[in-house]
Chain A
Amino acid sequence: MIKRFLALLLLFGIGAIFITLLLGYTPDTELNLTARYYADHTAQDLGAANIITAIIVTYRGLDTLGEVTVLFLTAAIVGLVLAHNRQHSGAGQRELPPSGELLTTGSRLLVPLILLLGVYIFINGHLTPGGGFQGGAVIASAILLILLTEPTKRFSHRLIAALESISGLFFVVIGVFGIFLAGGFLDNRILPTGTVGALFSAGAIPIIYSFVGLKVGAEFSSMLANLSETEEP
């Protein structure tokens, strides 16, 4: 009882802070300086139509590199924590009921389409909403559909790991090219920026974001596969 009272007390404190923040908040009418810089310079300097993509891939590209590294670490730790379950999963496996006709046929039809949609989302990341992270999540959902259709199927962890590390390597290599051919690490102007709105524009942004998408998709897939493969002891 005293615990619940303490929790409520803490929440009232935090709530008071939130109410003060909320009452003191006045929305800006103009963009602040950082946002104005991005709005004015993205199209001319980088040639990308989607400013958020430009911020994530180029202006704050180093943060994205750190982010995919964190995701890689997470996927690796999930695999490590759940690793020793996998060794004796072959023997004591439960008999699973076969998945229905509808799910099997539906997944056979839908998986290529979902993969195509994921690739479309991250190739067009510099023009339309979307990009590597969203496309990667869509690709992982195709893997999820396969896992649901055949729960006993084992994915080749070596293939996922190879895809993940190769795309990470290319991400860094393209970034290093930026140091020598353009302004700095992860600069996208190693390729011509083209006209704003064309598919082949914005320099290296589509290429970098495609590798980010593949990497994120591989990491999410390995997380899903690891968590679904742990068998009851």
Chain B
Amino acid sequence: MSTLMLAMSLLFACAMIGAALVAIRGKSLPIAILAAGLVSLLASILFLILAAPDVAMTEAAIGSGLTVFLFFFVLGRVRGGEHD
């Protein structure tokens, strides 16, 4: 049980760091925004492993739900300016 938890947390931590690297260096801005949402989603699973269900719910609903849509609403309005 404990080994399984350990392996899962290791896996999610590595996936989270990979997604974060995509978020800061990804090719296009939509991919970066989605990767940041993925970081939040994986973090919420990590919170569940760390016995924090309240925080996991908040992070899943707000961090990976609302924030991504806030970004996309703004991104839809700034077409043409999103390239570096």
Question: How many Å lie between the Cα of A52 and that of B77 in the bound state?
Answer: 39
Instruction: Decide if A224 touches B69 in the complex (CB within 8 Å).
Output: yes
Contact of A134 among B61, B73, B74 (CB under 8 A): B61
Contact status A223-B57, CB under 8 Å: no
Q: Flag whether B1 is at the interface (Cβ < 8 A).
A: no
A129 sits at the interface (CB 8 A): yes
Q: Is B54 an interface residue (CB 8 A)?
A: yes
Complex Cα distance, B58 from A52, in Å, reads 13
- Tell me whether chain B's interface is mostly helix, strand or loop, or mixed: helix
Q: Out of A52, A121, A137, name the residue touching B66 (CB < 8 Å).
A: A137
List which B63-84 residues lie within 8 A (CB) of chain A: 65-66, 69-70, 73-74, 77, 79
- B70 is contacted by which of A134, A224, A232 (Cβ under 8 Å)? A224
Closest to A133 in B: B58
Interface window among A33-41, A138-146, A155-163, A189-197: A138-146
Give the CA-CA distance A36 to B53 in the complex, in Å.
20
Q: How many A-B residue pairs have CB under 8 A?
A: 44
* Chain B residues with CB below 8 A from A129, complex form: 53-54, 56-57
Q: Say yes or no for B62: interface residue by CB 8 A criterion.
A: yes
Report the minimal beta-carbon distance from B81 to chain A, rounded to whole angstroms.
11
Of A53, A121, A130, A227, the contact of B73 (CB 8 Å cutoff): A227
Interface residues of A, count at CB 8 A: 22
The 0/1 profile, CB within 8 Å of A marked 1, for residues 32-43 of chain B is 000000000000
Decide: B77 and A232 in contact? CB cutoff 8 A: yes
Q: Nearest-CB distance from B49 to chain A (Å)?
A: 14
Instruction: Pick the most buried of A134, A141, A220: most chain B CB atoms within 10 A of its CB.
Output: A134
A138, B61: Cβ atoms closer than 8 Å:
yes
Given the complex of chains A and B, what is the CA–CA distance between A227 and B35 in angstroms?
Answer: 21
Q: Which residues of B contact A137 (CB under 8 A)?
A: 58, 61-62, 65-66
Chain A min CB distance to B45 (Å):
14
When the two chains form their complex, are residues A227 and B74 in contact, meaning their CB atoms are under 8 A apart? yes
Flag whether A99 is at the interface (Cβ < 8 A). Answer: no
- A47 beta carbon closer than 8 Å to chain B: no
- Tell yes or no: A178 within 8 A of B by CB: no
Q: Which residues of A contact B (CB under 8 A)?
A: 50, 52-53, 121, 129-131, 133-134, 137-138, 140-141, 144, 220, 223-224, 227-228, 230-232
Q: Could you list 20 further interchain pairs (A-B, Cβ under 8 angstroms) beyond the known A137-B61, A137-B65?
A: A129-B53, A129-B54, A129-B56, A129-B57, A130-B54, A130-B57, A133-B58, A134-B57, A134-B58, A134-B61, A137-B62, A137-B66, A141-B61, A144-B65, A144-B69, A224-B66, A224-B70, A224-B73, A227-B73, A231-B77
What are the 5 closest A-B residue pairs judged by CB atoms, nearest first? Answer: A129-B53, A137-B61, A227-B73, A134-B57, A228-B73
Interface residues of B (CB under 8 A from A): 53-54, 56-58, 61-62, 65-66, 69-70, 73-74, 77, 79
